Amino acid sequence: MNAKLLAIVVSFAAISTSAIVQAGETSLPVVAVRNNAALVVNCSNEQLPSHAAVGEVLETNNANSINAGREMILHYAHRECMRGAPSVTFVRDTSASTPALAMVDTPARQ
């Protein structure tokens, strides 16, 4: 019983330490971009880009990929707008094996 409890505590400590290290990372990962296609959400009028626009940037007509991209845009754009960004830009991450969007570093807030 004590060995199981010790194993659980050690596992939890390892996971917690990993989460703390990851939480400290503030830079965006580098992604490969093709065709300079981008989706920009203006924070003064937060609106999701159309399905067609997301599909064009992702270079797909797969409804699941497009809806997942729009959901990601909704979440990240709203968060960055609440933090004071004037706009949020998304591009296609061509380094991903499946069509995916990546957020471009937002301009400095004033």
Q: pLDDT of 73-99, one tens digit each?
A: 999 999 999 999 999 999 888 777 777
Q: Can you say how many angstroms the Cα of residue 39 is from the centroid of all Cα atoms in its chain?
A: 13
pLDDT category at 15 given cuts 50, 70, 90 is very low
| 60 part of a folded domain | yes
**pLDDT tens digits for 43-70?**
998 888 999 999 999 889 999 999 999 9
- Sheet containing strand 87-92, edge to edge, reads 38-42, 87-92, 101-103
Residue 99 within any structural domain of the chain: yes
In a domain, 8, yes or no: no
Parent domain of 82: 29-103
Q: Indicate whether 35 belongs to any domain.
A: yes
Q: What's the rounded Cα separation, in Å, for the pair 82 and 78?
A: 6
Residue 11 resides in a domain: no
Sign of CA pseudo-dihedral 84, 79, 104, 61? negative
> Is 0.85 topped by the overall pTM?
no
| Domains held by the chain: number | 1
pLDDT score recorded for residue 75: 93
Average pLDDT over residues 14-31: 46
Q: Is residue 19 part of a domain?
A: no
